[in-house]
Amino acid sequence: MKTQTSPRPGKTGAFLWSLACILGWAAASHAADGSGFATAVPNTVQSGSSGNDFTLQYTATEDMGDGSVRMTVPNGFPDPNANNTTVTVVDGISADVLDDLEATPLLTGTPGWNADDGLPIVNIVSVASDAGEFHEGARSLEVNFLANLGLFTPSVWYNFDAARNWAGYTHFSFRIKLSTVLSGTLDLGDGELRISENADLGAPTIYDLENSQIDTMLLEDGEWAQVTVDLTSAPPASRDAVLSYGIKFPSLSLGVATSLNLDYFLLGPGSPIFSGPTATQHLISLDDGGTVTFQYDGVTAPAQTGTYVVEFLSRSDAGGTLTPIGDSPEIRVVDIDTQDCRGTDADADGGTEVACDTDGDGCFGDAYFDPDGSSVACINVDGNNDGCPDFFIDVDGTGCAQECPDVFWDPTQEVLNGIDERDLDVNGDGSADQVCAYDSDGDGDDDSFVQPDPENPNDGGIGGVGGGQPNPFFEGSGCSLHPDRGAAPARLNLTILSILTGLGMAGLWRGRIIQRNA
């Protein structure tokens, strides 16, 4: 399962866009209400086939805090569940929600939230439910302080009614918002997270908050700040039967009564939540470029052919709303017995890959199908300016987000050849830019290039002849070759030798595919 993209040897994976040499590409529009992009591999399956394994991957395009990613399978596909779907987070921390305070919190006792200042006289700290101030959900926990001389160190904690096993968790996260009085004066770094296998924080394991990740700017501005604590400084056995957890604040000298609010307690790493056709993965964090991969296996495809959208939603932190990303991936369901399809060995593995005309317009670039799943058409756009979509195929599993695809296939015009990374001055500044060069018409010479879009690998810009422009790979074309590279390296033109359209021949390769999926 692919979770990260790394450059091939000798390639940097850096691509520059230039309007001077690219025609027919429009920047992928991402809705303001959802960030990131997603891919589906494979993106074409035979109708009614069983045992299909899908890698449905979300990639962040910004740093995310305690946000979430939700994947929804389309009608006709089985619901994801713990038996057919696993989730892997790379460059981030998944989360289980410990307490989102959606329900009115229990105050005092066991189970419930408690507060104390450690002094035998009047307790100057208390807790309450606050429905008027919250970061996520409908309320938060309000911690109130009376005016005092700073002779106490208040604590707030929760008692469980039964022990909880936290041995598998490595991180703890929560949100905090300070009042105007406390903002800029409370040094939360002097506080402590306490986790105990006794009630009322008895004999706790102590984690100094000065070692945690705190957005101090938000904290001092009186905004909701996320605090993330690494639990690995203590052995897992210290938290395998937890009965209470809480926060011990530093001593406070207050001339007036004031308060702070706590919300959205998380533990990580966590597991996805399944509900009908959806799988939701909560997060403590996810870096820009980090991935959340839903491995959705053993799936029987719908009998009905068509294009099915796997909807992805995201929110960058818990204060937002799960909303659709700009471009959710599609899965095409084809029937190679009844639809007009053509086949060839597009990825040179000895098998037969299939291209289908699914809408009867004479263009065979509507759907790409590799029965053994060893290749995927990661870009599906018109690559030779003939009005029909073509396939830019990833053969080696590195994707198209930051690297060149490996093969160009125009099944309508019967053109198949490799793609080379070449240097080209696409903006006339005298320096080389890397482009993915290919031969769009099968004459053996590069005349076009495709530029993968790092934020939408399902799309790409086309330059040169394939984009309705002159061939950029010769001097005086408006785009110039970098002098260090010169002409394209010699390579074999893999123009398709035959397209299997006869009923007899078609039956041969169709039989092979159907037998595998039976």
Same domain, 248 and 390: no
457 with 352, same domain? yes
Residue 469 lies in a domain: yes
Asked if residues 148 and 252 have their Cβ atoms less than 8 Å apart, the reply is yes
Same domain, yes or no: 231 and 338: no
Residues 264 and 343 in one domain: no
Tokens 């919250």 found at:
134
- Strands, E, within 80-222: which ranges? 85-99, 112-116, 125-130, 140-145, 148-149, 155-164, 171-178, 192-196, 205-208, 213-214
Q: Which two tokens stand for residue 194?
A: 């306490």
Are 343 and 478 contained in the same domain?
yes
Domain C-terminal end among 268, 289, 311? 268
Sequential pLDDT tens for the chain (518 residues) = 223 323 223 333 344 434 445 443 333 333 334 789 999 988 899 999 999 999 999 999 989 999 999 999 999 999 999 999 999 999 999 999 999 988 877 888 889 999 988 776 667 789 999 999 999 888 999 999 887 767 778 899 999 999 999 999 999 999 999 988 887 777 888 889 999 999 999 999 999 998 788 877 777 778 899 999 999 999 999 999 999 999 999 887 777 888 899 999 999 999 999 999 999 999 999 999 999 999 999 999 999 999 999 999 999 988 889 999 988 999 999 998 888 999 999 999 999 999 999 889 999 999 999 988 889 998 889 999 999 999 999 998 887 777 889 999 999 999 999 999 988 877 777 787 788 999 999 999 999 998 877 666 566 788 889 988 888 887 555 565 544 333 443 333 333 333 333 333 333 333 333 233 33
Our count of domains for the chain comes to 2
Which of 268, 294, 314 corresponds to the end of one domain? 268
Give buried/exposed letters for 207-223 (b at 16+ CB in 10 A, else e): bebeebbbbeebbbebb
Give pLDDT, residue 312.
97
What's the CA gap between 501 and 370, in Å, rounded? 17
Token couple for 243: 């009965």
480 in any annotated domain: yes
Report the alpha-carbon distance of residue 205 to residue 247 in Å, rounded.
12
Q: Are residues 255 and 148 in the same domain?
A: yes
CATH code (residue 197)? 2.60.120.260
Residue 189 in domain: yes
Annotate 346-372 with b (16+ C-beta within 10 A) or e (fewer): bbeeebbbbbbbbeeeebbbbbbbbbe
Question: Is 361 inside any structural domain?
Answer: yes
Mapping DSSP onto H, E and C, the string for 427-476 reads CCCCCCEEEEEECCCCCCCCCEEEEECCCCCCCEEEEEHHHCCCCCCCCC
Residues 428 and 517 placed together within one structural domain of the fold = yes
H-helix or E-strand containing 507?
helix 503-517
Domain contains 294: no
For residue 328, being part of any structural domain is answered with no
**6 belongs to a structural domain:** no
> What domain range includes position 221?
97-268
What length does the chain have? 518
| Residue 308 covered by a domain | no
- State the pLDDT at residue 120: 67
**Cα–Cα separations (whole angstroms), residue 413 to 123, 356, 379, 386, 391:** 82, 13, 18, 9, 12
346 and 486 together in one domain:
yes
Are residues 101 and 25 located together in one domain of the fold?
no
